[in-house]
């Protein structure tokens, strides 16, 4: 007899199949309809591109083919239909933004391969203030997940924290069994809360740095390409840190209240963490090399911020540094050190091999970045972005306030991220937000940052983010509990943190 969870899973699969099937046919039909509809104010090239954007957007949402494939279809169709030449359509795939993220992927691969991420997580969990308190363990699991995901992909962080959370829950089960009480962890509220804390914190930590999650880097690329505005690594970390801390506090308070533990201490939790930490052994040469390469990259990333504070934003030394060591070069510099630093010179073994590096690079993500930047760049070149921006401003009343515009695009980004990949959602909403802000006479930076931050608040559905999917698949998180907890965090996060943060704090920083 099928359980309720099985029925829900079957319904999800059926909905997913229908979504893909409908999207496969709806995308081309809608694109042709747009092309055949007369539209005043658009050049022929912009009209063709609008038709292509319609297809790409619908296929990004419904996913009849893999999202990276759709990202290649857009620029390819633009060349075939004569919108732009191939040299322009594919130029974005070699953007420095792509290499910034590639370097981040390689550094993250080395950290995971050599266990540096686990060493950080277990050391945090083994601190004396954590002890065996269920509340503090949930807090420590969340902190470890958030801090790691600022530098390692959210998915990889959630995958790393998942077995750690399982081990801690097993310690709870064994503690109850020793006292003559059997519990079903899949129906134990604290188990749900701990799993959700690990998943949500992985998404929350991603807002800390530009490389923490794809939407951050995508919006930086759009700002650079469409508005000629460059946001440095250090500046992003200022508001990223504030957002991360506030989101984390909200998530912890909501989850700890909704899914409390019914015990004061978890016997065996400290022993479990101590055992896992001991299994890591002492620091290896590979771990030391990886840490050194990572520190080099971080220093190169944040140095411009300190130089700007000390010397001023127009100082010639700062300009020279930015020309010689932009963020992409810093990322690639740290990553390339991994192929040079030896772990065994006599056998010519180095910290990372090319085979390992290739396996750690999320090529689909890089293609998606390139495709999104390509479509945004073509919108700008053909004048389509100006037309869309003027249309959005007109729909918002002609002279919308910064508050209204920011709120609208933040909510749009959040809602779309709940339904499809937050990376694809950012690619769709990002160019619209930037062009609308420019058309209204505002700085596009607050809107762009708001879109990026909002897309990381996808906590309601299992399909919203990979971390959600990972913990949902464990069976410890009923979908109704995820939807309830996620809805609270989303609502509080976007109304009390995201929108006020970008309107006041980010606007104040950028002047």
End-to-end CA distance of the chain: 62
Q: Is residue 466 part of a domain?
A: no
Same domain, 19 and 40: yes
Stretch 8-21: mean pLDDT: 76
Same domain, 43 and 97: no
User: Into how many domains does the chain fold?
Assistant: 2
Stretch 213-238: mean pLDDT: 88
Q: Could you report the per-residue pLDDT of 285-318, keeping only the tens digit for each?
A: 999 999 999 899 889 888 888 888 888 778 888 8
Stretch 123-135: mean pLDDT: 83
Same domain, 343 and 353: yes
- pLDDT-derived band of residue 1, with 50, 70 and 90 as boundaries? very low
Stretch 429-458: mean pLDDT: 89
Q: Could you report the per-residue pLDDT of 239-279, keeping only the tens digit for each?
A: 899 999 999 999 999 999 998 887 787 777 788 788 888 88
Q: Please tell me the predicted confidence (pLDDT) of residue 74.
A: 92
Q: Is residue 328 part of a domain?
A: yes
Stretch 211-227: mean pLDDT: 88
Q: Please tell me the predicted confidence (pLDDT) of residue 213.
A: 86
- pLDDT-derived band of residue 461, with 50, 70 and 90 as boundaries? confident
Q: Is residue 146 part of a domain?
A: no
Mean pLDDT over the full length of the chain = 86
Same domain, 324 and 295: yes
Same domain, 74 and 98: no
Q: Which of 320, 344, 365 is the last residue of a domain?
A: 365
Q: Is residue 454 part of a domain?
A: no
Same domain, 339 and 302: yes
Q: Please tell me the predicted confidence (pLDDT) of residue 179.
A: 66
Same domain, 109 and 58: no
- pLDDT-derived band of residue 182, with 50, 70 and 90 as boundaries? confident
Q: Which of 89, 124, 140 is the last residue of a domain?
A: 89
Q: Is residue 68 part of a domain?
A: yes
How far apart CA 481 and CA 200 sit, in angstroms, is 13
Q: Collapse the DSSP code of 410 into the 3-class scheme (helix H, G, I; strand E, B; otherwise coil) and give the result.
A: helix
Domain with 98 in it: 91-114+284-365
- Helices 44-62, 67-80: axis angle to 10 degrees equals 160
How far apart CA 478 and CA 4 sit, in angstroms, is 10
Same domain, 83 and 98: no
Q: Is residue 205 part of a domain?
A: no
Same domain, 11 and 40: yes
Same domain, 51 and 98: no
Burial readout 80-103 (b: 16 or more C-beta within 10 A, e: otherwise): eeebbeeebbbbbbebebbbbbbb
Stretch 144-160: mean pLDDT: 86
- pLDDT-derived band of residue 30, with 50, 70 and 90 as boundaries? very high
Stretch 314-326: mean pLDDT: 86
Q: Could you report the per-residue pLDDT of 382-428, keeping only the tens digit for each?
A: 888 888 888 888 887 777 888 888 899 999 898 888 877 788 888 88
Q: Is residue 50 part of a domain?
A: yes
- Comparison of pLDDT for 313 and 201, the residue scoring more: 201
Q: Is residue 201 part of a domain?
A: no
Q: Which of 55, 89, 123 is the last residue of a domain?
A: 89
Same domain, 29 and 2: yes
Give DSSP secondary structure letters for 170-225: HHHHHHHHHTT----GGG-HHHHHHHHHHHHHHHHHTTSSTTSSHHHHHHHHHHHH
Q: Which residues sit opposite 342 in a β-bridge?
A: 350
Same domain, 107 and 45: no
How far apart CA 257 and CA 11 sit, in angstroms, is 30
């Amino acid at each position: 007899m099928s359980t309720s969870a099985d029925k829900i899973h079957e319904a999800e699969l059926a909905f997913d199949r229908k979504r893909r099937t409908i999207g496969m046919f709806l995308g081309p039909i809608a694109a042709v309809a747009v092309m055949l509809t007369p539209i005043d104010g658009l050049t022929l090239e912009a009209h063709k591109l609008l038709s292509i954007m319609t297809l790409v957007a619908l296929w990004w949402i419904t996913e009849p083919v893999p999202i990276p494939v759709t990202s290649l279809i857009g620029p390819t169709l633009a060349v075939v239909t004569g919108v732009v030449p191939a040299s322009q359509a594919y130029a974005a795939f070699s953007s420095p933004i792509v290499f910034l993220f590639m370097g981040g992927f390689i550094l993250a691969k080395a950290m995971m391969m050599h266990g540096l991420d686990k060493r950080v997580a277990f050391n945090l969990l083994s601190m004396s203030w954590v002890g065996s308190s269920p509340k503090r363990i949930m807090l420590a699991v969340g902190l470890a997940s958030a801090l790691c995901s600022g530098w390692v992909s959210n998915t990889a962080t959630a995958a790393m924290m998942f077995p750690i959370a399982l081990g801690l829950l097993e310690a709870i089960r064994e503690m109850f069994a020793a006292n003559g009480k059997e519990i079903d962890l899949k129906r134990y509220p604290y188990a749900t809360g701990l799993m959700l804390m690990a998943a949500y914190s992985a998404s929350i930590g991603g807002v800390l740095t530009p490389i923490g999650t794809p939407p951050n880097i995508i919006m930086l690329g759009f700002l650079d390409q469409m508005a000629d505005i460059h946001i440095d690594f250090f500046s992003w970390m200022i508001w990223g840190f504030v957002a991360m801390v506030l989101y984390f506090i909200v998530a912890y308070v909501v989850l700890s209240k909704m899914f409390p533990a019914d015990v004061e201490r978890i016997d065996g939790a400290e022993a479990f963490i101590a055992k896992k930490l001991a299994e890591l052994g002492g620091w290896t040469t590979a771990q030391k090399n990886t840490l050194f390469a990572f520190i080099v990259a971080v220093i190169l990333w944040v140095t411009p911020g300190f130089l700007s504070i000390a010397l001023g934003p127009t100082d010639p030394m700062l300009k020279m540094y930015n020309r010689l060591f932009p963020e992409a070069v810093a990322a690639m510099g740290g990553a390339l050190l991994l192929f040079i630093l030896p772990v065994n010179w006599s056998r010519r073994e180095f910290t990372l091999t090319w085979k390992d590096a290739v396996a750690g690079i999320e090529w689909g993500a890089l293609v998606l970045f390139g495709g999104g930047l390509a479509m945004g760049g073509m919108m700008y070149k053909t004048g389509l972005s100006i037309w869309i921006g003027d249309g959005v401003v007109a729909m918002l009343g002609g002279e919308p306030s910064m508050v209204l515009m920011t709120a609208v695009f933040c909510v749009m980004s959040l809602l779309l991220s709940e339904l499809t990949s937050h990376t694809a959602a950012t690619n769709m909403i990002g160019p619209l937000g930037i062009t609308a802000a420019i058309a209204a006479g505002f700085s596009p930076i607050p809107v762009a940052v708001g879109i990026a931050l909002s897309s990381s608040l996808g906590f309601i559905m299992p399909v919203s983010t990979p971390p959600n999917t990972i913990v949902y698949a464990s069976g410890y998180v009923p979908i109704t509990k995820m939807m309830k907890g996620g809805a609270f965090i989303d609502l509080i996060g976007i109304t009390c943190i995201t929108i006020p943060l970008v309107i006041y704090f980010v606007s104040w920083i950028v002047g």
